[in-house]
Every structure is written in C-alpha cells, then in structure tokens.
Amino acid sequence: MRLRLIKKFFFPRLSLTIVLLILTLIIAFLAGKEFLVQRQSEPIFPSSGLSYHKKLSDYFPALRNTWGDTDVYIFEGKEPGGCILITGGTHPNEPAGFLTAVILIENIFVDKGKVVIIPRANASAFTHSDPQEGSPQRFFISTAKGKRFFRLGSRLTNPIHQWPDPAIYINPSGQKLSGSEVRNLNRCYPGRPDGLLTEKIAFAIMEVIRQEKIDLGIDVHESAPEYPVINALVFHENSSELAALVAINMESFGLKLRLEASPPNLRGLSHREWGDAAGILAVLIETPNASHGRLKGKPSPDLIVEGIDKFYPRASRSGRLFVDYPETGIPLKDRVGRHLASIISLVESFNELYPSKKIKINNIPDPNEVALKGLGFFLHSPS
Amino acid sequence: MSEPLIFVLMLLSFILLTLLVRFPVGVSLFLAALIGSLASGSGLPWRHLVEGAFGYFDTLLIILTATIFMKTLEGSGALDTYVNFLLRTFYRYKPLFLLILMFIIMFPGMITGSSVTAILSAGPLVAPVLLKIGLSRSRAASFLAMGGILGMIAPPINILVMIMGAGVDMPYVGITVPLLILVGPLAILVSLWLGLKEAKKISKDDLASLLPPSFWPQYGWRLIVPLLSLIFLFLGPSLWPEIIPDLGLPGSFILASLFGWLAGRPFSFFQATQKALEESLPILSILVGVGMFTQIMTLTGSRGWLVVSILSLPSIWLILAMMLSLPLFGGISTFGSASILGVPFILALINLNALFTAAALSTFAAIGEIVPPAAFSARFAAQVMDEPSLFRVQKHSLIPVATFWIMGLILLLFAPILDKWI
Amino acid sequence: MEIKKTITSSLMFFLFYLFAASSPDLPKFSQPALITSAGQNAEVQMVAVLAKRAGIDHILNKMATGQDLEGYKSLLLVLGASLKGLGAAGIDINKELERVKSLIEFSRQKDIPILCLHLGGEERRGAQSDQFIKACLPAAKMVIVVKSGNKDGLFTRMCQDLGIPLVEVEKISDALEPLKNSFSK
C-alpha cells in the first residue's frame, strides 16, 4: 500500500521519467565539462630571486602523484638569517591569501635569511567550488600585457580526492569536529603521515617546517565580514610579543590590526599546532572577503576583485558586521595590501626581537603603491 | 530584475508547479531554480545546478542507507519483535502506553532524521493500535504526524541541525542533550494531549489481535544484533578512535543492515534496498531540488537579499520572524528552510550558544511538516491512516504545534542559563 | 592705551594657559613597574612592548593580584574587557574584577601609583569594558587613552571630575612618548 501511495504521489508517468533521465545525462555532460576547467592550474611566474622550486612531495614523498602535491618556492639570501614560511591557499575560497603569496613569489628578492612560500597549500581544494555558494570558477586581473586568471576554489579538499567524511572527525590533536572538517587543511595539523589526504598535506607542511628549519610561520587567510575574527592577526602564545609589535608597526601604514590569542583548546589549526608541535612562532592573518560570506549579493569575478557588494554595506549599517563595509567595496588590492603590510611588519618585528636571526627581503610591493597602481602592476604578464 | 523579485518569482513558480501542474516537489524546485536563473540573466547554469544538487550528497546517502536499515529491521522481523515486546509490556498503563506508541513512531525518525521515513516505517505498525484504543482517524493521523516530526528533531540524528551547523562551522557534537531537553517534554505533552482524552484501556485479547508477530522464540537475541551493532558503530569510533575506524553514517548503516540481514528471519536484501530506494526517493529528490534552488538563490543574489533583510530586523522582530518564517518556508521544504533561513538566524544570534539556537530553530522549521503546501508529515500520516481530510489532521495538530513553538522559544530565551547549567 | 594693555595681558595669559594646557605638569612614576590588564585584553602585550621601547624596567603579569605588587614602585593597568581573553585565562568577568580590585586595594595601602591606559579604541568599549574603566579610574594618578576610545567623552568627564591628568593620543604607538616622559627622572 505504501509504495502505491508514493507512486501516485511522485511518479506521474514513466515516459516523463525517461525524458527526465535523458535530460539529466545531458546536464551532467555539460556540467562535467565545466567542472573539468577548474582543474587547469593558473601559471605563477617567480621573480629571478627564486633559489629553488620544489614540490611538497620532496618533503614527504607519499604525496607524489596525488592531488595534494603542490609547489614550494624558496628564496634564499646570500647571508644566513632567520627563516619564514608563508602559506596561501590553505582555503582557496579566500583569494587574498592566495594572491598575497603569488605577489610575493613574483616580486621578492631575499638578501638575508630564507623565505619559503607555498601559494596553494591545499591544491586539491582549488579543483572544485563550494556547493550552494554559486561561486565563479575564476577571477581575472589585468596586467600590462593582458589578463591573468586565478581560480577561486573551496574551503575543503575536493571530495573526489578524499571521501567519505566520518560522522565526527577526531583530528590528529584529538579534537572532535564535524565530519566535513576532515577535509579542512586548517583543522588537520599537525597531520598524520598515514592518514587521509588532507592530513598528509598537513603532515607534509610540518615536514617543510622541520626540514627548512622555519622560525616563523605565517598562514594567510580571509574571513567573511560577518565573522568576528577579521582584519586580525591570530597568534600562538609564544608569539604574543611579536604580535603586539606587529600591531604597533602596522599603525605606520595607517592600519589597525585586531589581535586574537590562539585559544589553547581549539586544536588542529596552524596558529596552534605549528607552535605546539614544531615550536615555531606561528600567526594567521585575516582580511574581509565578501565573496565567501553568506550575505553577499550576486557572486561574480568582479565581487572578488572589486569587492563591491549590494548587501554588505546594508548589513554594516545595521551593525551586523565586524568590519566597516563601505558602498565602494573592499577591493582585493586593499586586502592583499593589508596582508603585505602585515608581512612587512612581521618581518620588521621579528628582526627587532631576534636580531641574531635578521631577515632581509627586498622588493615587497609597498601596500600604498598596490592600492594606487593595482595588483596587475605587480604581476608578471601572462605567457 | 531585482533580487527580491527573483526570489518571489522562484517561490511562485515553485508553488504553481507543485500545486497546479502537480509536478513532483523535487522537479518543481529544479524548474523554479531554472526560471530564477533565466530571469536574472544568468542563462542556463548547468554547473551550478549540478553543484547545488550535490550540496546534500552526504545527507542523501544518510537518508537512503538509514532507510535500508529500517527495511532490514522490517524484513528480519526485528522491528515486529521490538514493537510486540513494547506493546505487550506497557499496554496496561494508559499514559505510558501512549508514550511507548509515540516512541515507536519516533524511532525510525530518530535514526534517519526524516519524519516521512518514521511515518511510513512505524506508521503501519502503530496505526491499528491507535484506532483500537479509540482514537479517531484524524486524531490518530495527527498523532502519527507529530511522532514523525518529533523523531525528526530528536537525537541522535537531526538533519536540520546538521544542515544549519554546516553553515556556521558548528560541529555536530554535544547536541544530544539540548535536543533531549527539547524533545522529551514535547513527546510527553503531545502524546498525552492527543491521546489521553479519547484513548481507553485495551484488553489483553484486543491487544493480542493487534500485535505484530514476535520472532523471539525462533531467533532470540540475534534480533537485537542489528540495533546493537548500529549503536556500536555510532559510538565506537569516538570512544576508541585508535581501534575502530569511522565509516561515516552511511557506512555504519549499511554494515548494520548487513548484520540485520544475517541475524533474523531470511529476506531478500536486494529487494529491501530497492524498497528503501523507492520509499526514500521522494525525500531524496526534494533535497536535490532544494540544493539547486539554494544555489540559484545564491547565484542570483536573492539569498543575500533574504539573509540581510532578516538580519536587519530588530531583535524582538527577529525572534518573531524565526517563529513564523521557518515553519512557513518549512511548508515548502523543512530542509531548505533550515539551510536558507536557519543559518542567517544562527548568525544573528551569534552571542547565544549555537547548539541551543540550532536545536530551537530546528523545532520551528520542523513545524513546517504540517504546513501547506507540502505538509509532508501530515499528508503521509493522513494517507497511512486512510483519513481523507488533510485539514482535520492539521486542526488536531494545532495545539501540539503550539507547544513546539513554546518549547523552542523557551530554549532560545533560556539558552544562556541552560548553557551554564549543562 | 588701557585697552591695548588689557589685550596684551589677556593675550599673554591666554598663551600661557595654552602652553600650560598642552604640557600639563604630569605626575611621575618610578621603576620597576608591574603591567597587567583590567579585563584580559590583548593590548596589555602592546603596553609591555611600549615599556620595553621606553626603557622602563617592568614585568608583565597577566594574572597579577595584590601580593604580586610587592616590590614594585608603580602599576600599569591596561583597561578593557576581552571575552576571548577572559576565556583563554579561564576566568569570568567577576573574578577578573575581583583581581583588579585586590590590585587597587594593595596599591592604595602601599602607596603605589597607578597609570591607566586604554589603547583598544572604540571597539574596546561597551558595558563590560566600561565596568573596568569605572572601577579603575578613581584609583589612577594618570590616564593615557587612544582618542577613538574616548569618542563619547567618558574619559574626559571622569578625569575632570576626579582631577586626574588625561593624555589623549592618536594611535597606540603615540603612547610611547607620554609613557617615557612619565617614567623619566
């Protein structure tokens, strides 16, 4: 009786079902073609200051020929000094994190010390986009000679590369999280060498920290304007003095930095485990990104690059946000500029606190100039 | 076309397609999404439709495999045996008996997170008993519908909370106690309100004629194996994470189903999966449709408009808006309501404990199960009871639904106190 | 003639007043100093950095109570409540208030002068932060505040009523100078 009931309700006619089935196949084909586009990686053109171009699998061979393997760019100065790790693309739906890393790779020269940059920390997460977010797959930045494309990915590892999620994820630090966090790189530290793909990526990054003898790790992110941790620097307690100095140094750029101590009971995050497991100074920086917020209007490549949104200014006026969101938007160049200012201040402050490990990086684009000339000015032309 | 207009257009096309053209809900949602996308000038966004459809992929698997598990409980005779045992043990005490009946209906919903599964699985077992103890058809149908809804929001699996949690990065952990605080009193109030007045005590002979068969004499303790193995697979990985791998909910359900297949009365496992698929397909198709609908709402900017409009309300209105908009939208799709409205509501109440907020909001959204146009639980309950009037079922459900509102509201208002107390 | 004299003298008086107002005779503090927050805010760390830059002999103790003040010659209280900070320290706002009051009480008994700083700006205001501000200011000998935190004039009003010198600075790094000056001999 029950089945008849359901049939009456939901299956009007067999012929309709067949038509729908054929339609579904056509849609799957059309969509599939589009999904594959997202696997094409955007080129990055390192500055001539690059010393080595390595792969993450060079540090942890188990990642070789997996979707978790990714580029590692190393800039080494002639003189010895401290060593910094900068990771972008931990969350590929936070474009300023990725772009900051790219801008650094394409511009800097290191005189003293060493800078290790991983622009696409979770390479798998770049290959798909978040369901129900309606995100564009790419955004574009004009350079002197033509447009460059960059991918907007997802917060999580592609489920095609790691599936299924457990009901409850217990991460390598023993914290219980919701199942899907098993694919969130920034919950999987310090990783597991024999774990799932994302845990292996986390482990490989820990290996980079150990093998390259990193002193300071900077994880570059963005957050939705409705989240409290924004325009902020989250620091491991071993870096509290560094963080305070950075906040003061940031004032010279006319920027206010919110300081947030990394909560000791929030485990698996870079600013916690890099400090705990590897003993390095660890910070994470955040800028406001409308394109991955829930209040955003129509998503588009423009929303990512220009940051002009229809609804965020309204939410800002009614006091629902943790940042002032103007009608004129918060463009990507300002967000990347802020990250660059943070990184410059971090290096300055690090040098002040640890004079024996001085690091000297040349040619980091000046945040004010980035705001003036745009990101394209500091990017290599395509091809 | 402006965002609010697109939203209204999508909503109207959906309602017209389901009510007038009588398309299945899932298909109507898909077509409404397509219309919205065309109207906004986004063309035919195939990638977005497929991507949106996959938004609830894991949830779909949970519902499907949980339904397979229910089918194996039915097939192996385990469910009959459980019900037989419960009814025989408790039939003498009227209020307790009503509570047990309520629990039997809720049980499949608690496991699958779907009220319709509860109503369809347990309904046929409980329906004759409800009539026999003297409930009118319409009241019995209301009893059934309420049981389904309570099962849907009861722990361990509340898909509404899962959906909302996914939107605010809240782990599905520690929700059992808030949900029990919510559902426990509701189950007692609702079953007594609906049952106590009309129900009369039932004689042993009457009961005997109604009892489903018990397979205990043939198979004994083996009938408990599927249930025990499921509990073990649910709890094991978090109790002994080093030893027991986490298979995920779908994996656990499938494994427990295989135990069920081996444990009791022989039945065709293949047929059970077919039946499960057929039975859950309507809900699965709705979730796929909701996924597409949501993605296109986001794509056209109308989700942003909706969320911001709600967030701009002053706080008193905000609570009122929750209590009204969640059930109203739930009348189209409870899951969609949780995803589209629930998430911004939690964000608006960010200073409250998100677990309590989510639990309360899931109650409001679940009321949508008896709200037209879809009114799934009320509709299916009426069909199972052979009650011709949907309206009569809804009428009986009014007071119970009011208690849902009140309990949800209490949970919201007292969240800060409960937070400390727990 | 008479008018000219009046104008000149009033001008002189006005100039003198301006000068006096712009560099008031600020109270002096001695070293070593104990730095702690009133409300477990993150700015306390910045004050420690500023103190280091100013060459002030100091110690930072986030959970200092009255007894810990023993041996110190001044107390720097950094005002403003941070729920995150309180959470990280594992205490609630009442416990924190108690701690701060024990510090104030001890410094009153031992005659240790208190310098209050509010560096968090507008964001570090609101009911909870104001609770600490109101509890601490009456015991202060001097107050340094970042301007945006005094938009509503609370610090100006309270300091006027209590007769405490108030130094307003544009940004956090500008607090270095007045801090240095108040510890210079």
The answer to whether residue C89 neighbours chain A at the CB level (below 8 Å) is: no
Q: Which residues pair with A222 in a beta bridge?
A: A287
Upstream peptide bond of A190 is cis (omega within 30 degrees of 0)? yes
pLDDT category at C21 given cuts 50, 70, 90 is very low
Six token digits for residue B213: 């068969």
Report yes or no on A150 lying in a domain.
yes
Residues 58-97, chain B, touching A (beta carbon < 8 A): 58, 61
Residues 12-51, chain B, touching A (beta carbon < 8 A): 22-24, 27, 40, 46-51
Query: Residue A179 gets which letter from DSSP?
Result: G
Report yes or no on A18 lying in a domain.
no
pLDDT category at B244 given cuts 50, 70, 90 is confident
pLDDT of residue B364 exceeding 90: yes
- CA atoms within 13 Å, Cβ hemisphere of A146: 6
Q: Would you tell me how many other CB atoms lie within 10 Å of the CB of residue A17?
A: 11
The answer to whether residue B387 neighbours chain A at the CB level (below 8 Å) is: no
Q: Which of A27, A132, A221 to mutate to test binding with chain B, by most B CBs within 10 Å of its CB?
A: A132
The answer to whether residue A131 neighbours chain B at the CB level (below 8 Å) is: yes
A261·C172 Cβ contact <8 A: no
How many angstroms separate the CA atoms of C113 and C72, rounded?
10
pLDDT category at A368 given cuts 50, 70, 90 is very high
A240·C45 Cβ contact <8 A: yes
Q: Which residues pair with A216 in a beta bridge?
A: A84, A281
Contact yes or no for B58/A164 (Cβ under 8 A): yes
Six token digits for residue A291: 């394109």
Six token digits for residue A273: 């485990």
Lowest mean pLDDT among A133-137, A178-182, A307-311, A344-348: A178-182
Report yes or no on A321 lying in a domain.
yes
Q: Which of C49, C147, C170 to mutate to test binding with chain A, by most A CBs within 10 Å of its CB?
A: C49
In chain B, what residues touch A170 (CB-CB under 8 Å)? 237-238, 241, 246
Mean pLDDT of chain B: 87
Which pLDDT belongs to residue C6?
63
How many angstroms separate the CA atoms of A240 and A260, rounded?
9
Q: Compute φ and ψ for C151, nearest 5 degrees.
A: -60, -40
How many angstroms separate the CA atoms of B409 and B196, rounded?
26
Contact yes or no for B92/B98 (Cβ under 8 A): no
B312·A318 Cβ contact <8 A: yes
How many angstroms separate the CA atoms of A305 and A299, rounded?
11
How many angstroms separate the CA atoms of A182 and A163, rounded?
9
Q: Where are the beta strands (DSSP E) in B44-121?
A: none
- Mind listing the pLDDT tens digit for each residue in B245-277? 878 778 888 999 999 999 889 999 999 999 999
Q: Compute φ and ψ for C46, nearest 5 degrees.
A: -70, -35
**Average confidence (pLDDT) over C31-55:** 93
How many angstroms separate the CA atoms of B47 and B251, rounded?
28
- Structural domain of A168: 46-378
Which pLDDT belongs to residue C20?
45
Smallest CA–CA distance, residue A86 to chain C, in Å, is 24
Residues 234-273, chain A, touching B (beta carbon < 8 A): none
Smallest CA–CA distance, residue B336 to chain A, in Å, is 12
Number of domains composing chain A = 1
Look up residue A296 and give its amino acid: K
Q: Which domains are delineated in chain C?
A: 27-183 (3.40.50)
Q: In terms of DSSP H, where are the helices of A163-322?
A: 197-211, 240-250, 270-278, 301-306, 312-317
Q: Which chains touch C (3 or more CB pairs under 8 A)?
A: A
Q: Which residues pair with A114 in a beta bridge?
A: A76, A83
pLDDT of residue A6 exceeding 70: no
- CA atoms within 13 Å, Cβ hemisphere of C134: 8
Pair type for strands A79-87 and A109-118: parallel
Which pLDDT belongs to residue A10?
57
Which pLDDT belongs to residue B169?
63
The answer to whether residue B305 neighbours chain A at the CB level (below 8 Å) is: yes
- DSSP assignment of A152-163 equals ---SS--TTTS-
Pair type for strands C142-146 and A258-261: unpaired
Q: How many CB pairs under 8 A join A and C?
A: 39
Q: Which of B19, B28, B51, B335 to mutate to test binding with chain A, by most A CBs within 10 Å of its CB?
A: B51
Smallest CA–CA distance, residue A244 to chain C, in Å, is 5
SS3 content of chain C, % helix, strand, coil (to 5): 55, 15, 30
Report yes or no on A311 lying in a domain.
yes
pLDDT of residue C74 exceeding 60: yes
Report yes or no on A19 lying in a domain.
no
Which pLDDT belongs to residue C22?
47
- Mind listing the pLDDT tens digit for each residue in B400-411? 999 999 999 998
C172·A247 Cβ contact <8 A: yes
How many angstroms separate the CA atoms of C66 and C100, rounded?
8
Smallest CA–CA distance, residue A368 to chain C, in Å, is 19
Q: Which of C41, C46, C47, C50 to mutate to test binding with chain A, by most A CBs within 10 Å of its CB?
A: C46
Which value does ipTM take for this structure? 0.91
b/e per residue, A252-280, with b = 16+ CB within 10 A?
A: ebebbbbbbbbeeeebbbbbbbbbbbbeb
- Mind listing the pLDDT tens digit for each residue in B211-239? 889 999 999 899 989 888 888 887 787 77
How many angstroms separate the CA atoms of B76 and B73, rounded?
5
The answer to whether residue A373 neighbours chain B at the CB level (below 8 Å) is: no
In chain C, what residues touch A259 (CB-CB under 8 Å)? 42-43, 45-46
How many angstroms separate the CA atoms of B103 and C73, rounded?
70
- Mind listing the pLDDT tens digit for each residue in B104-145? 999 989 987 889 888 887 888 888 889 888 899 999 999 999
b/e per residue, B132-166, with b = 16+ CB within 10 A?
A: bbebebbbbbbbbbbbbbbbbbbbbbbbbbbbbbb
The answer to whether residue A258 neighbours chain C at the CB level (below 8 Å) is: yes
Report yes or no on A67 lying in a domain.
yes
- DSSP assignment of B14-65 equals HHHHHHTS---HHHHHHHHHHHHHHHTT----HHHHHHHHGGGHHHHHHHHH
Top mean pLDDT of A158-162, B50-54, B373-377 is at A158-162
Q: Which residues make Cβ contacts (< 8 Å) with residue C173, sequence separation at least 6?
A: A248, A251, A252, C50
Upstream peptide bond of B314 is cis (omega within 30 degrees of 0)? no
Contact yes or no for A267/A273 (Cβ under 8 A): yes
Lowest mean pLDDT among A45-54, A371-380, B220-229: B220-229
How many angstroms separate the CA atoms of C117 and C103, rounded?
15
Smallest CA–CA distance, residue B305 to chain A, in Å, is 7
The answer to whether residue A240 neighbours chain C at the CB level (below 8 Å) is: yes
A244·C121 Cβ contact <8 A: no
Lowest mean pLDDT among A142-156, B91-105, C46-60, C85-99: C85-99
The answer to whether residue A61 neighbours chain B at the CB level (below 8 Å) is: no
3-class state of residue A254 by DSSP: coil
CATH number at residue A268: 3.40.630.10
Smallest CA–CA distance, residue C120 to chain A, in Å, is 9
pLDDT category at A136 given cuts 50, 70, 90 is very high
How many angstroms separate the CA atoms of A185 and A152, rounded?
16
Chain A's closest residue to C83, CA to CA, is A260
pLDDT category at B420 given cuts 50, 70, 90 is low
A248·C46 Cβ contact <8 A: yes
Report yes or no on A10 lying in a domain.
no
Whole-prediction pTM value?
Answer: 0.86
SS3 content of chain B, % helix, strand, coil (to 5): 80, 0, 20
Smallest CA–CA distance, residue C15 to chain A, in Å, is 33
Smallest CA–CA distance, residue A144 to chain B, in Å, is 30
Six token digits for residue A166: 């457990």
Chain A's closest residue to C171, CA to CA, is A251
B171·A167 Cβ contact <8 A: no
The answer to whether residue B376 neighbours chain A at the CB level (below 8 Å) is: no
Six token digits for residue A235: 């620091």
CA nearest neighbour of A68 among A180, A191, A218, A211: A191
Q: Which residues make Cβ contacts (< 8 Å) with residue B281, sequence separation at least 6?
A: A6, A10
Q: Which of A248, A260, A261 sits opposite C173 (nearest CB)?
A: A248
Report yes or no on A90 lying in a domain.
yes
Six token digits for residue B354: 């998100």
Which residue's entry shows tokens 């782990």? B171
What dihedral angle (degrees, nearest 10) is formed by the CA atoms of A164, A169, A174, A175?
150
- Mind listing the pLDDT tens digit for each residue in A315-324? 999 887 888 9
Q: Which of C49, C121, C123 sits opposite A248 (nearest CB)?
A: C49
Contact yes or no for B204/B50 (Cβ under 8 A): no
Contact yes or no for A315/A225 (Cβ under 8 A): yes
Q: Which of A251, A259, A263 sits opposite C173 (nearest CB)?
A: A251
